[in-house]
Structure 1
């Protein structure tokens, strides 16, 4: 299948490599020369602009930062829509508000293109394994068209309904949990360090006991190593928890924990940590209390 992947970041690169490994004809699109070089070295075709995807592309996976970037990549000047085959499927995987997903689906329909509102989860490692989780909504025809793509890049595909926006809704709720879990994991580790606990022993105890979470185990492992290279950056959760609070506000629904977590990630960004791994929101507590982090 002729597939384009727009956005060769931590998730997009993994998706593109998984599709390539499955035998698809894949063009990876990214403005960054280093990302294009990495994918080209693996045997994929590359493009710096979305309108340079292969003519007649049958499916395009869009793994950029937000709705605005998705719209530009697909339908803006230099967008990919002109390169897609009739009846091609768009797999829109950026985290965005449900209304934004519905608006993109309408633009796709105007062009007789299939559309799946299909955000993903799993992180860079799962993406490279072809084992992401996809939470998708769209027509049966769109799911059928995208099946070879999902078979290559996902371990689990949740079909959540026919209406675009449902996938985005579920992902926003998921990000509420993910962001709060990261923030509380950092708070717990920082408190333990301040109280004099050995951080490695604290980590080992928590990860073997009922208080553990996937985010504590994953993110605090990086804190122990002092590894703040961004697999998912602080800035992502400033954005995604903003989507949580916006959706909740529209529903007159209080989200105090999500709001507090967003403020912590915003504080980390204000400290110049926006591009760092999201577990390093722990530096907010470091700034307030003077604790010394492992590896520093």
Structure 2
């Protein structure tokens, strides 16, 4: 369906009540509609916090259960992803490049968005895809901001995520009041959206390295008769005191607590692969990234696909016959 026809149909259904009378939004205007697409564990909590804005929040998800849960809190369910395209600001939190393409492009969301509206992509996607999306949005006169986040599900629920934002200052200023509802700080990384995605991939590469190192160190201690809890207590109070990564993931490894996943191992695998690809795009070899790809494959081959990223520690122990 053509963009104009789709928007007219949505107005007829009463969904676009607060859309501006002209397609171009005014910078100072904050009476705007919001949409959130992708209501997984992270997205559900982020969308719930956006309800505190007092503005209409339209929500859509492939699995309708999270939509209903948010509707009970005041969100407005959309019958399709494309219906969310009539909002002034569309947030997406989808699994990867493929899911984002299927929803935003193939699903008609971009076609339904008006010039002057903004798409905020909070997913961890590849640098190449971020560059492609930025160009496509520019062609359509739609603002595009990359805003991947740091933080697990409990942090998202508390509205304390760290937001890594890439895009023009003007666009980010327009969405900053909404960022303030879902995050404790917005970190600016360049005027090109892809720069924020590069930073997120760099962060997740280091995260995976830290977890693998913790897993291998713990396995070495256990192999010599030292309880895992004692080793983790040592490193989190000495070498890595104050680090939430070593304390949080180290505790999970010590307790062999890998489920339910807060950050699935397969998502970490995807992020490390994208980090290696981002390095290749600038002729930068990533030796740890290459090694981690093999370790992730090993964990997946052993059936750890539904476990938390902390299961890298399980895989390290398994290599030594400790599990």
Does the alignment reach a TM-score above 0.5? yes
> Where does 1:206-221 land on structure 2 (aligned, <5 Å)?
206-212=235-241, 213-221=243-251
For residues 290 and 48 of structure 1, the distance between their equivalents in structure 2, rounded to whole angstroms, comes to 51
- Structure having the higher Rg: 2
Tell me the residue number matched to 2:218: 189
Q: Secondary structure at the match of 1:208?
A: coil
For residues 207 and 286 of structure 1, the distance between their equivalents in structure 2, rounded to whole angstroms, comes to 20
1:62 corresponds to 2:92: yes
Structure 2 residue runs of 5 or longer lacking an equivalent are: 1-31
Tell me the residue number matched to 1:270: 301
For residues 159 and 112 of structure 2, the distance between their equivalents in structure 1, rounded to whole angstroms, comes to 25
Q: Secondary structure at the match of 2:144?
A: strand
For residues 178 and 109 of structure 2, the distance between their equivalents in structure 1, rounded to whole angstroms, comes to 17
Distance 1:83 1:238, change over 3 A: same
Q: What are the Cα deviations for residues 177-216 of structure 1, in whole angstroms up to 9, with x where unaligned? A: 1111121122222222222212222222222112354222
Tell me the residue number matched to 1:73: 103
- Kindly indicate whether the alpha-carbon contact (under 8 Å) linking 2:258 and 2:310 is maintained by their aligned counterparts in 1: no
The number of residue pairs the alignment matches comes to 290
Q: What are the Cα deviations for residues 243-269 of structure 1, in whole angstroms up to 9, with x where unaligned? A: 111122232222111221222122111
> Where does 1:247-258 land on structure 2 (aligned, <5 Å)?
247-258=278-289
- Kindly indicate whether the alpha-carbon contact (under 8 Å) linking 1:237 and 1:262 is maintained by their aligned counterparts in 2: no
- Kindly indicate whether the alpha-carbon contact (under 8 Å) linking 2:198 and 2:275 is maintained by their aligned counterparts in 1: no
Pick the structure with more strand per residue.
1
Is the deviation greater in 229-238 or in 189-198?
189-198
* Superposed CA RMSD: 2.0
- Kindly indicate whether the alpha-carbon contact (under 8 Å) linking 1:64 and 1:70 is maintained by their aligned counterparts in 2: yes
> Where does 1:157-236 land on structure 2 (aligned, <5 Å)?
157-212=186-241, 213-223=243-253, 224=255, 226-236=257-267
Tell me the residue number matched to 2:175: 146
Structure 1 residue runs of 5 or longer lacking an equivalent are: none
1:23 corresponds to 2:54: yes
